[in-house]
Structure 1
Amino acid sequence: MEPLSTRPVVTELRLSAFAAHRGGAFPLGPVTLFAGPSGSGKSSVLRAYEALAALAAGAELAEVFPEPAGCVPEGARGDAQGRRGFRIGCTVSGPAGPVRLDLAVQAEPELRIVGERLTCGDRVLLSTALLDPGRDHVQAAWHTGGVAAVTRAPFPGDLLGTALLPLRVAGRTDGQRQVLAAAEQTVVALRSVFPCDPQPPRMRAPVRPGDGRLLPGCDNLAAVLHRTRHECARRHTRLTSMARAGCAGTVRGVGTEELADGLVRAVIHRSESDGVDCGASTPLGRLGDGELRFLAMALVLLTGPGVLSVDQAAEVPGALQSLTVVADGFDRCLDPGQAAGLAALAASICAEGHLRLVGAVSGDGAFARELEGVAVVDLCRDGTGRESTATTAGGVRRGP
């Protein structure tokens, strides 16, 4: 197994001013679950992470923030020109060391990036600033380390500058190579994100066999099972064990059936102790929402990067990448036993280093607090909307 230090991973997410959050800084481990009452900002944390991931993959600002006013901190007032915005960022650890990315976005009256900074240690590797509001670009300056200390050029105001650096920097000097290493590390870590929210109503119907890459809503769960059940017997056995723990009755196996019209459906095989013939099977479409979500999340965790529908950096070897599953409503529709079983599976899989999980859970996340390798972060809000405490499995950290 590759040492974790060789895999670029996001180790901190910052919501300096975003939605209900002000001054939020959240360490991220292999498995991090955000807990708290409704309205505490759990979904906002995950939305900021997904936004950074999309920008790192080259998405335009308007595509990432279709309703930017909703990202502005509550109660924030505009300046004399009516301008309001928000700020988010992250830290990415990897071979280049800890690299910080901080982004300032103007939401009103016009959506645009007004400032971006990429730093490693005390050195600013990239900085951008909006010098002329009448133009659609920002002025960028990046570290050169040659005869000229920095190189300056205009960057688009609707794209992440860090993602553009590999196309702009030649890599001829030590300084340029440091900039490239930091930018590539940040982009690789951020774009390797799989947002997952299983949708039981869309998982019940038979589907056509496809390429076997699982969609974020797990609509094509049957097609993925059809592909993977013979590819790795060990992981399929673990999936069957999860089904036994999380589904009603006595489960003998999980599989698929090919139908006369060419479609496939996923099925649960049950044993005779249920009063059913040993060869009988139950279509997954008959299961409850909780059982379907439980099986879908277990499949996501067990199949890993090669099966999930995510566009990872093709030029980087898989051994050097770590995919992050972002799951809002990780325990939605699940009973405490199902939720605890999934969290334990996540801890086991993510300890291997090729997969990470960032999720939001209802209540206080008590089902996962005693699990080694799982951090539960409580978002408790006071009257100003700031995080008053952040509690993890390792203790309590006072908020900002």
Structure 2
Amino acid sequence: MDTPAGSVRGTGPTVTTRPTVTELRLSAFRTHRGAVFPLSGLTLFAGASGSGKSSALQAYEALARLAAGDGLRDAFPEPESCVPEWAGADAEGRRGFRIGCTVDGPAGPVRLDLAVQAEPGLRIVGERLTCDGRTLLTTALRDPGRSSVQAAWLTAGSASVTRGPLPDDRLGTALLPLRVAGRTEGQLRVLAAAEQLVVGLRSVFACDPQPRGMRRPVVPGDGRLRGGCDNLAEVLHRTRNQCTRRHARLTAAARTGCSGEVADLTVEELADGTLRALLGRDGGRGTPLARLGEGELRFLALALVLLTGPGVLAMDQAAEVPAAYQSLTVLADGFDRCLDAGQARELVSLAAEMAARGHVRLVGAVSDASFARGVNGVTVVDLMP
């Protein structure tokens, strides 16, 4: 069944000083058809099971991975599942899907539209990069027997465009800095748009805390939080020693998201060298996190993600780009999973505060967004199955 773009309630301020993804387009992807979703600093996709919430986050994460230089197979491990059921095959038996996005920033609104063939083989068959209505890059599959596409990008010099082959399993926009000389005004415009799109997309942390893993003691490592948050104790140990102000804020959040008195969040080293986290109680007692409910554990993990930054999260950053030019986006599937109404309200309020500060952007999927309606800065996209 087709998924409409849905009704949108609430908008946050658009920040254009940093490259920022402001729109996600699912022209033909899973259950979505012709869907255009606006994205603010805090966007929640709401709907019942099968409405396409997780699909929207999957498409966003895939675009981010392509922008970071990953191949198609890494971005789409099960590409056949991305093809809409209603999409018929062409005369050669080919089927695929189409997605895209818009990234606002100093270069203006930059649009990327991508056509991917999933069957019989996975490859990019068309890519278009535009800015202010002007086409900067196009690619097309000319010879199905070759593992490349024919690309044409704006030159605005003695020749209006430059043509050349690009791999059919990589995002052409991410490869442009290696192919464009940057000598003419047109080439500089292409490079600025490509950089803006890549930077706006790639700073993504996909997070879905798994309480079962979070209950086990953890071996000390690099102190960077993984997407499943199973090494929560290790990261709490780091924040308690290195980020005292944020750790104190996390402890304050724990007082509202966890039952009983919470005096502190502590970490102890066990005899085998592993670490386990505890809720410090009044009188020096401690409750191991293994005793907490799933909602409490997910609340703590998501609050930690919102209060930390890329240096604490296990994610890929554009090392060549100053941090002030990048905007961290957290993708949280099942943002309200296992949470009660009070926990969900506290967590979305924290997310809205961090988004308003420009500290983090959040795109989440929830089954019921009633807890977030009316919260300043939150955009709710209602989907129907």
Q: Same fold (TM over 0.5)?
A: yes
SS at match of 1:366: coil
- Equivalent position to 2:349, from 344, 347, 351: 344
Cα shift at 1:209: 2.1
Conserved 8 A contact 1:321-1:354 = no
TM superposition shift of 1:66:
2.1
Give the structure-2-normalised TM-score: 0.95
- Counterpart check, 1:122 vs 2:133: yes
Which position in structure 1 is the counterpart of 2:24? 13
| From 166, 177, 188, the counterpart of 1:166 | 177
5+ long unaligned stretches in structure 1: 272-277, 382-400
Cα RMSD for the two superposed structures: 1.1
Deviations 1:338-377 (A, max 9, x none): 11110000000111113100000013x0000110011111
Equivalent position amino acid for 1:202 in 2: G
Q: Deviations over 1:303-343 (max 9, x none)?
A: 12221111110011111110100000001111111111100
1:380 aligns with 2:384: yes
- Please show how residues 105-184 of structure 1 align to structure 2 within 5 Å: 105-184=116-195
Counterpart secondary structure, 1:343: helix
1:264-303 → structure 2 map (5 Å cutoff)? 264-271=275-282, 278-303=283-308
- Name the structure 2 match of 1:250: 261
- Matches of 2:81 and 2:212, distance apart in 1: 29
Question: Counterpart of 1:368?
Answer: 372
Tell me if 1:198 matches 2:235: no
Distance in 1 between the 2:140 and 2:330 partners? 32
Cα contact 1:92–1:98 (8 A) shared by 2:
yes
SS in 2 for 1:219: coil
Distance apart, 1:270 and its partner CA:
1.4
Aligned residues of 2:28 and 2:99 also touching (Cα < 8 A): yes
What is the CA-CA distance between 1:219 and the residue it aligns to? 1.1
Cα deviation for residue 261 of structure 1 reads 2.1
SS in 2 for 1:251: coil
Q: Tell me how far 1:231 sits from its aligned partner.
A: 2.2
> What corresponds to 1:323 in structure 2?
328
Range moving further from structure 2, 94-103 or 372-381: 372-381
Tell me which amino acid in the other structure corresponds to 2:370: A
Task: Measure how far apart 1:109 and its partner are.
Answer: 1.3
* Higher-RCO chain (CA-CA 8 Å, sequence separation at least 6): 2
Identity %: 72
SS at match of 1:205: coil
Partner of 2:78: 67
2:27 equivalent to 1:23: no
AA at the equivalent of 2:362 = L
Shift of 1:232: 2.7
Contact 2:239 2:246 in 1 (8 A): no
Q: CA deviation at 1:90?
A: 0.2
Letter of the aligned partner of 1:134 in structure 2? G
User: How far did 1:233 drift?
Assistant: 2.5
Contact in 1 for aligned 2:176/2:191 (Cα 8 Å): yes
The 1-side partners of 2:279 and 2:67 are apart by 40
TM-score (norm 1): 0.91
Partner of 1:104: helix, strand, or coil? Answer: strand
The amino acid across from 2:311 in the alignment is: G
- Displacement, 1:69? 1.5
Report the secondary structure of 2:381's partner residue: strand
Once residues 177 and 347 of structure 2 are traced to their aligned partners in structure 1, the CA distance between those partners, rounded to angstroms, is 39
- Per-residue CA deviations over 1:259-286 (Å, capped at 9, x if unaligned) read 2222211110112xxxxxx111011111
* SS of the residue 1:62 aligns to: helix
SS in 2 for 1:230: helix
In structure 2, runs of 5+ residues without a counterpart are 1-13
Moved over 2 A (4+): 230-234
Distance (Å, rounded) in 2 between the aligned partners of 1:268 and 1:15: 43
Alpha-carbon distance in 1 for matches of 2:277, 2:118: 45
Aligned residues: 372
